[in-house]
């Protein structure tokens, strides 16, 4: 028997969703509650998982059997070509199905995994015997004698078994389809023990590379920034993403990333870096702050977050939309404490003016307030300039490969020289930013990870009058820190005092201080900044 959960109308063909190894269909519940109402999704419990049947004694679970499982589902319902959605092991199953049945798969979305391949057949032969023995041992276990737990302890056991990668709230959802309750109120896990044995039939590198050439449908892969599984899975197939991109109708690889400091069960201060910087900009400051936790997000095109696709341009409000989704839809936080530097502080002020009821504190470190369009009559000229810049850059990106460097320190020097033209940074500060600002190829070469398209001016820059209206709506507690050698020395910011006055009038509490240092004082001299922030938050 195959079980599942069907969200949406049964009058339209659903997306087929496959969970990760040892999970179940409940894993999709939080995400699917956010999906557009017109979509239909059938989340399947794979054999041995959730409410689906176990295999017969001494049968094993094989990754390569999954495309047949999906094909049976398709034929049973009379579905046409399928759209697939997979997480972890389920993503690998979507990948295999797209290759084996290219005419039956319209596209697939893979989350935080693609595939695993053995690099060495000798290694594979060495571990296969112990895997066989483990599978037999697990098959012989008497389910009637399975250990039972109080529900809360079972939840804790699950969290610990995943080393904390699955949180208690998520486990509660998964347990709806993964435990049976006994008369005494305790629960036992119901998934097939044999799923713990490991896979007996795995593919080698050559097989996986060949499978990748058979994928024709559109492919979207999403790597979780804090997870090591995606990269671990493809480490023996370093060119597989390029292979898929070459053969697939469409290919996109996305990452949403950031740095979380402190306990994950505490609501953090949310930090946002400046233009061309990365999430590591707050590394030194965080250790000096008297806060329970700190989340340093990375804007699209920066650090380890994804680039926007070619053919699109950056809009200033796009950043607000992205951040709103992360904070409201994903984390479901309110009473936010937002801390931003430079460009990031400008975006947070935009956010605070749009959603004043959601923000408790807004802390700005040397911000330019906003990217301001100087005069209304400059609108057409400004937008035309952005479009021309974008087209020229896209042409260059197609014709000229990204520059590569042999040595990380060479990149540090490059950044140091570029930055000192306007806002000088120390070499050590450059190193900190570049911890999350470079990628390394399989050949050991380095390149900058940032999206070159962020060098073009964002469209949708704000009229000063609109900026003033947003400032008048910012009712949270505000701390404005100006650097003595920072942005506010620039003539372009001559109207900042006007918006500062508007903020001071509208804010529940407004504090303005001058910090000794340059534009990146929080990075170069965090001890100069932390006392102001701690005093503000603790008063």
> Of residues 88, 296, 305, 496, which has the active-site annotation?
88
365 close to 482: Cβ distance less than 8 angstroms:
no
Backbone angles phi, psi at 413, to 5 degrees: -65, -40
| Closest alpha carbon to 77 in 127, 28, 6, 134 | 6
Largest CA distance in the chain: 79
- 88: annotated active-site residue: yes
249 close to 221: Cβ distance less than 8 angstroms:
no
Dist CA 44 CA 66 (whole Å): 12
Dist CA 154 CA 149 (whole Å): 5
Dist CA 92 CA 4 (whole Å): 19
294 close to 286: Cβ distance less than 8 angstroms:
yes
219 close to 210: Cβ distance less than 8 angstroms:
no
Q: How many CB atoms lie within 10 A of CB 119?
A: 12
| Residue 107 burial class via C-beta count within 10 angstroms: exposed 0-12, middle 13-18, buried 19 and up | buried
Q: Where are the alpha helices (DSSP H) in 78-191?
A: 89-100, 121-139, 151-161, 168-175
DSSP count for the chain of H helices, then E strands: 19, 20
Catalytic residues: 88
């Amino acid at each position: 028997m195959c079980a599942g959960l069907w969200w949406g109308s049964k009058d339209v063909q659903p997306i087929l969703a496959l969970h990760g190894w040892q999970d179940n269909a409940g894993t999709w519940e939080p995400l699917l509650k956010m999906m557009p109402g017109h979509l239909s999704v059938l989340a399947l419990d794979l054999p041995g998982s959730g409410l689906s049947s176990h295999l017969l004694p001494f049968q094993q679970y094989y990754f390569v059997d999954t495309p047949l499982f999906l094909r049976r589902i398709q034929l049973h319902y009379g579905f046409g070509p399928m759209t697939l959605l997979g997480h972890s092991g389920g993503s690998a199953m979507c990948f295999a199905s797209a290759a084996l049945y290219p005419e039956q798969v319209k596209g697939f979305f893979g989350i935080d995994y693609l595939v695993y391949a053995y690099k060495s057949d000798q290694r594979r032969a060495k571990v296969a015997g112990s895997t066989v023995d483990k599978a037999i041992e697990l098959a012989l276990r008497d389910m009637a004698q399975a250990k039972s737990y109080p529900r809360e302890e079972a939840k804790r056991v699950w969290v610990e078994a995943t080393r904390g990668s699955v949180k208690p709230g998520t486990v509660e959802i998964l347990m709806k389809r993964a435990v049976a309750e006994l008369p005494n109120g305790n629960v036992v896990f119901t998934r097939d023990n044999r799923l713990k044995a490991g896979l007996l039939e795995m593919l080698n590198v050559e097989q996986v590379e060949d499978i990748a050439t058979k994928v024709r449908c559109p492919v979207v892969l999403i790597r979780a920034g804090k997870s090591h599984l995606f990269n671990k899975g493809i480490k023996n197939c370093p060119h597989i993403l390029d292979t898929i991109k070459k053969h697939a109708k469409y290919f996109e690889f996305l990452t949403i990333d950031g740095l979380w400091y402190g306990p994950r069960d505490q609501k953090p201060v949310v930090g946002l870096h400046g233009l061309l910087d990365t999430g590591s900009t707050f590394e030194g400051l965080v250790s000096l702050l008297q806060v329970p936790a700190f989340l340093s997000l990375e804007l699209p095109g920066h650090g380890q977050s994804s680039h926007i696709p070619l053919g699109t341009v950056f809009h200033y409000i796009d950043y607000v939309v992205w951040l709103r989704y992360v904070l409201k839809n994903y984390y479901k936080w309110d009473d936010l404490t937002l801390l931003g530097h430079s460009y990031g502080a400008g975006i947070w002020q935009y956010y605070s003016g749009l959603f004043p009821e959601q923000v408790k504190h807004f802390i700005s470190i040397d911000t330019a307030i906003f990217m301001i369009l100087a005069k209304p009559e400059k609108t057409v000229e400004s937008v035309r300039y952005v479009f021309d810049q974008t087209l020229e850059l896209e042409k260059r990106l197609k014709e000229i490969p990204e520059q590569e460097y042999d040595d990380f320190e060479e990149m540090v020097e490059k950044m140091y020289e570029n930055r000192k033209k306007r806002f000088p940074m120390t070499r050590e500060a450059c190193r900190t930013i570049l911890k999350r600002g470079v990628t390394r190829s399989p050949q050991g070469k380095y390149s900058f990870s940032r999206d070159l398209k962020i060098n073009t001016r964002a469209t949708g820059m704000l009229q000063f009058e609109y900026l003033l209206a947003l400032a008048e709506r910012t009712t949270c507690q505000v701390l404005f820190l100006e650097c003595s050698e920072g942005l506010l020395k620039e003539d372009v910011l001559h109207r900042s005092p006007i918006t500062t006055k508007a903020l001071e009038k509208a804010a529940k509490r407004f504090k303005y201080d001058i910090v000794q240092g340059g534009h990146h004082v929080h990075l170069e001299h965090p001890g100069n900044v932390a006392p102001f922030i701690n005093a503000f938050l603790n008063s």
